[in-house]
Amino acid sequence: MAQPGDLIIVGTYEEFVVGYTIVPEDDNEKKWSLVQTIACHSHKGSVRSLANGGAYLASGSLDETVQLYDVVNQVECTLLNHHSGTVNALAFTENGTHLITAGADGMIAIIRSGSWFTEKKWVGTHSGSGVTGLSVHPSGKLALSIGTDNRLVTWNLVKGRKAYVTDLSSRCRNGQGVGDVQWSPSGSSYAVYMTSHVEVYSVETAGVSHTITCSEKVTAITFLDDDVILVGEENGEASVHKLLPPSKSGEEGEKEEVVRFQAHERRVKCARSFGPVKDAARDAIQFVTASSTGNICVWELEDDEVEKICEVNTGCRITCMTLVDLAKELQIKLENDEAAEKAISNLVCLLRDISHINSERSAKTLRRAKKRTASESSDTSIVSKKKSSSQPNSLNSPSTSLKKEKRLKKKIKKNKSSSAGQWDVSSIE
């Protein structure tokens, strides 16, 4: 459900990323206006893709770069230039921890949010052809990609490799390729559109569960619910289809066109769902569509009737669109700020306690050291006094030196008498 303060962000051929905020009028939940609050000229080429993941917004461009924004603080974060071709598709994982980028160079890259470090690169994923579409499963464990080779590749994001490849070339009509791919809200199915028809695939049966054929070229799709899908066409019309379960296993289910209406004067370029209305009194779904002529319209579907809630003309040629629940992100930021402030306060108290304990320990250690030093010095003085009184220095004693000299003279005289013919030994005087 759309809420006041939610952002509708579009990319344009004129190289701008433009954001509009939903503003209520006269406290009427069905009378809103769209006010422009963001306008970023961050690229040097037309903007071809947008994705929102938590507080981050990513835009991909013809200039081969990916620009990151902090939508809460409304500032640019960083610029990525790991592609060597147009960045055709972007998608965040459900928890916003990773950004997946895909380009005309045939490469798909996995980027970690926050640090924006490239963790994985898959080169030549679609036989060297360009990648044109991406969609991540709500669980964050799988992803789908499509390319100009008309192949649908399922990726195992847990193991970081291809799971399987489906060739859709035989299902494309009039020589046209696959347009886009999108998961349902629960991830139980996914849809791809090709020229003038849409195919819905069941994950359980791994086959086509529904086929929707249109009179005009299909230009946009979005799931309004698991069993409700919106299809936008080249002539500006849009139709909503109810997908009924198949009566027999292995067969396609029936579909019911709930409503068809003129959404725009020309091509419906993008469509996104706000989800069900949070009101037990009525069963309604709100969604938004954008035209290549620059119009953005917010709609509400109730039963089989569609009502336009608000509209704005951007004055630009719209190429892509995404939605941001700004109120939710602001609440998360506030909670994170409060949690961070509490954590810092607790850390300061802990450091103070540690400092107090360490100071007490230091004081005790110092007192013990002083006592030990004083005790050792007193013991040393007592020992030195005992040694000086009981053992006088004999080397310096004069009586000892005289005795030695007398014994030496006697020994010399004896040697003189008994050593005739031997070497003459002179006495020491």
pLDDT by position in tens, the chain (length 429): 888 889 999 999 999 999 999 998 776 666 789 999 999 999 999 999 999 998 899 999 999 999 999 988 888 999 999 999 999 999 999 888 999 999 999 999 999 999 999 999 999 889 889 999 999 999 999 999 999 999 999 999 999 999 989 999 888 876 578 889 999 999 999 999 988 899 999 998 889 999 999 989 999 999 999 999 999 999 999 999 999 998 887 789 999 999 999 999 999 999 999 999 888 788 899 999 999 999 999 999 998 999 999 999 999 999 999 999 887 877 777 777 777 677 767 766 766 676 677 777 777 777 777 677 777 666 555 555 555 555 444 444 555 556 656 665 565 555 544 443 333 333 333
Contact yes or no for 282/302 (Cβ under 8 A): yes
pLDDT at 377: 64
pTM here is: 0.78
pLDDT at 29: 63
82-94 residues labelled b (16+ CB within 10 A) or e (exposed): bbeebbbbbbbbe
Strand-pair partners of 121 = 109
Helix (H, G, I), strand (E, B) or coil at 363: helix
pLDDT at 90: 98
The burial class, CB within 10 Å (0-12 / 13-18 / 19+), for 117 is: exposed
List pLDDT tens digits, range 152-163: 999 999 999 999
pLDDT at 419: 41
Closest CA to 258 of 219, 299, 296, 294: 299
pLDDT at 251: 86
| Extended strands (E) in 113-217 | 117-122, 131-136, 142-147, 151-156, 161-167, 178-183, 189-194, 197-202, 207-213
pLDDT at 382: 54
Strand-pair partners of 371 = none
Helix (H, G, I), strand (E, B) or coil at 149: coil
Please list, in sequence order, all residues whose beta carbon lies within 8 angstroms of the beta carbon of residue 329, skipping any fewer than 6 positions away.
54, 55, 71, 72
* Cα–Cα distance measured from residue 126 to residue 148, given in angstroms and rounded to the nearest whole number: 8
Structure tokens at 48: 């071809």
Contact yes or no for 209/243 (Cβ under 8 A): yes
